[in-house]
């Protein structure tokens, strides 16, 4: 049974595998396209539509259509109701996955069960766990999650083998944005640092065009009521994406806008105007990009050799020209829509043929390869063992995307005590991160309980302020004898290769310990099982 790579995107998704020549290929959908819109239309209580038809349904049934759901992954309490049933971002993503794997199975004649899913590099623990759960709800075995720029660099590295270089991956997808510096040396692919905004993407440029078109129409027909028409606004949203794509090749587009009862008008939008109205969005990406390069310098990488563009939105001309002007390198663009999916297929192959890692091991080498697995994979895809080894011989090291810490009391002689977050595990620490222990002390006399609250960085940069962090886990050491002020507690953080965080607290007077099993989000095993059954009962078209 082959392992597939799935690029579960904010606006478009696609499936890939290794073909019989030993190369990654995208499995085209039922209408012959590489990517499927990540849009779901809840047509009835028992039937949902995914893809182009769902996207078109937004014109008349916007209240039953869901898009950009990836932006809500891992969001606590997030739910949507359709036809009397409640769905979470995870279960809606599971519906998209069901559509993708069902067609891939029909197209390839293979069972699609074991998968590697891609995630934005800047996804935190909650979003990553939500993605894994979505795969579980779709009845898939998620072998691993791979950051999108790592997947793209794997594919890119396979195209240009044997060259040592530092690559800046500028990944502007439909709904998320990441920048990552990756060092490629021999067969080693090492993530140096990453940064980003998982709520910034091509959809925001679409909204700028949508608003421009609406304003132009209302200027011509101010009393038409077009601005209050959900159907008309949705129509403009669909048109905006097409206009954006056209402006990558044309200097000017002139779409015709029609509203029943309001008249018709042709609106002219030039590329220069489009770039002006969306300049602040591009500038946000440049700020993050320059910050990433500066972070890389602090990690010992003082030279960027190449800039690799990933994500369909990087086809916008302003992206390439601005990057070249600001960084001094002409970006390279090669299959920006497909590079992540193809790299995921390569990563899936690596995962399939590798032996389990030894605890404490910091990397993988060809010595870690299971020869039996290599032969099995080669036989399944109809190629040679040499081709499989050549494709999979990569040692991939990724980093912690965000900082993690615990809530502590900060007391100053001249100020009132206040709560802050003290980070133990910092962003861009290579994974797996070894145990990191720090000693803390009880804040008051007579404590019989110690609360340990674990926080994850929420803002763009590390900050000790509580509001700049999200609570992701907590636990208690209870039934302690009354402890004097200043009693020591050791807290240890450890994160494995796949990003699973373990936190242990030990009260040193009594020796009592607490190991926190972080439950991410509010999905209990029972809720996950219920959602899995709900998704399984639906007919996905």
pLDDT tens across 142-190, in order?
A: 988 888 988 888 887 755 656 788 999 999 999 999 999 998 887 777 8
Residues 6+ apart with CB under 8 A from 139: 98, 532, 536
Q: Is residue 362 pLDDT above 60, yes or no?
A: no
Domain parsing of the chain, residue ranges? 3-200+285-397, 202-279, 404-510
Q: Which CATH architecture has domain 404-510?
A: Sandwich (2.60)
For 183, the token pair is 């060092």
The tokens for 226 are 């077009």
Contacts of 242 (CB under 8 A, 6+ apart): none
List the 488-495 sheet strands across, edge first: 433-441, 488-495, 501-507, 513-516
- Please name the residue ranges forming H helices in 77-143: 89-108, 125-137
Q: Tokens standing for 511?
A: 């020796």
Structure tokens at 503: 């936190």
Asked whether the predicted pLDDT for residue 74 surpasses 50, the reply is yes
Region 60-84: mean pLDDT is 91
- Compute the distance between CA of residue 268 and CA of residue 250 in angstroms, rounded to an integer: 12
Averaged pLDDT of the chain: 87
Equal fold, 3-200+285-397 vs 202-279: no
Give the fold, CATH level 3, of 202-279. Actin; Chain A, domain 4 (3.90.640)
* pLDDT of residue 229 exceeding 80: yes
CA distance 200 to 202: 7
pLDDT bin (cut points 50, 70, 90) of residue 366 is very low
251-300 pLDDT per residue, tens: 999 999 999 877 899 999 999 999 999 999 999 999 999 999 999 999 99
Q: CATH 3.30.420.40: does it fit domain 3-200+285-397? A: yes
pLDDT in tens, 483-527: 999 999 999 998 887 777 889 999 998 998 887 755 555 567 788
372 half-sphere exposure, CB direction, 13 A CA radius: 1
Q: pLDDT band at 200, cuts 50/70/90?
A: very high
In which band, very low, low, confident or very high, does the pLDDT at 322 lie, cut at 50, 70 and 90? very high
Of 226, 220, 171, 216, the residue nearest 197 (C-alpha): 171
Integer Cα distance of 90 and 67 in angstroms? 13
pTM of the model: 0.84
């Amino acid at each position: 049974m082959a392992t597939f790579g799935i690029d579960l995107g904010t606006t478009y998704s696609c499936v890939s595998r290794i073909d019989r020549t030993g190369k990654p290929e995208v499995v085209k959908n039922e209408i012959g396209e590489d990517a499927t819109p990540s849009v779901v239309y809840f047509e009835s209580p028992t039937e949902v539509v995914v893809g182009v038809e769902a996207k078109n349904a937004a014109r008349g049934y916007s209240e039953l259509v869901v898009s950009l759901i990836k932006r809500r992954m891992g969001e606590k309490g997030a739910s949507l109701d359709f036809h009397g049933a409640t769905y979470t971002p995870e279960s809606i993503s599971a519906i998209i996955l069901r559509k993708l794997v069902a067609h891939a199975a029909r197209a390839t004649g293979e069972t699609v069960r074991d998968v590697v899913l891609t995630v934005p590099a800047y996804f935190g623990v909650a979003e990553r766990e939500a993605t894994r759960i979505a795969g579980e709800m779709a009845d898939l075995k998620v072998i691993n999650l791979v950051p999108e720029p790592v997947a793209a660099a794997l594919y890119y590295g396979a195209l240009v083998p044997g060259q040592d270089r530092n690559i800046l991956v500028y990944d502007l997808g439909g709904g998320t944005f990441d920048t990552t510096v990756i060092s490629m040396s021999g067969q080693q692919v090492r993530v140096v640092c990453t940064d980003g905004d998982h709520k910034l993407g091509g959809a925001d440029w679409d909204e700028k065009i949508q608003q421009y078109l609406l304003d132009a129409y209302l200027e011509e027909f101010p009393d038409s009521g077009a601005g209050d028409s959900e159907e008309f606004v949705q129509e403009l949203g669909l048109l905006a994406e097409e206009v954006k794509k056209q402006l990558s090749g044309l200097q000017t587009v002139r779409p015709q806008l029609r509203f029943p009862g309001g008249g018709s008008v042709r609106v002219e939008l030039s590329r220069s105007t489009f770039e002006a109205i969306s300049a602040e969005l591009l500038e946000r990406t440049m700020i993050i990009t320059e910050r990433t390069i500066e972070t890389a310098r602090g990690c010992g990488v003082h030279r960027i050799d190449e800039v690799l563009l990933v994500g369909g939105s990087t086809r916008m001309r302003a992206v390439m020209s601005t990057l070249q002007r600001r960084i001094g390198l002409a970006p390279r663009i090669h299959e920006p829509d497909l590079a992540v999916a193809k790299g995921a297929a390569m990563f899936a192959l690596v995962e399939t043929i590798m032996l389990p890692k030894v605890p404490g091991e910091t990397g993988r080498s060809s010595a870690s390869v299971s020869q039996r697995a290599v032969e099995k994979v080669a036989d399944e895809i109809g190629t040679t063992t040499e081709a499989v080894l050549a494709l999979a011989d990569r040692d991939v090291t990724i980093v912690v995307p965000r900082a993690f810490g615990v809530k502590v009391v900060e007391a100053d002689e001249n100020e009132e005590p206040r709560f802050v977050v003290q980070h133990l595990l910092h962003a861009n620490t290579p994974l797996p991160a070894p145990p990191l222990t720090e000693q803390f002390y009880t804040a008051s006399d007579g404590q019989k309980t110690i609360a340990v609250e674990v926080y994850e960085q929420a803002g763009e940069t590390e900050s000790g302020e509580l509001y700049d962090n999200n609570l992701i886990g907590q636990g208690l050491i209870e039934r302690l004898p009354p402890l004097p002020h200043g009693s020591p507690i050791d807290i240890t953080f450890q994160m494995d290769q796949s990003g699973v965080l373990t936190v242990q607290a030990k009260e040193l007077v009594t020796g009592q310990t607490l190991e926190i099993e972080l439950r991410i989000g509010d999905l209990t095993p029972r809720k996950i099982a219920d959602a899995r059954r709900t998704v399984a009962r639906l007919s996905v078209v």
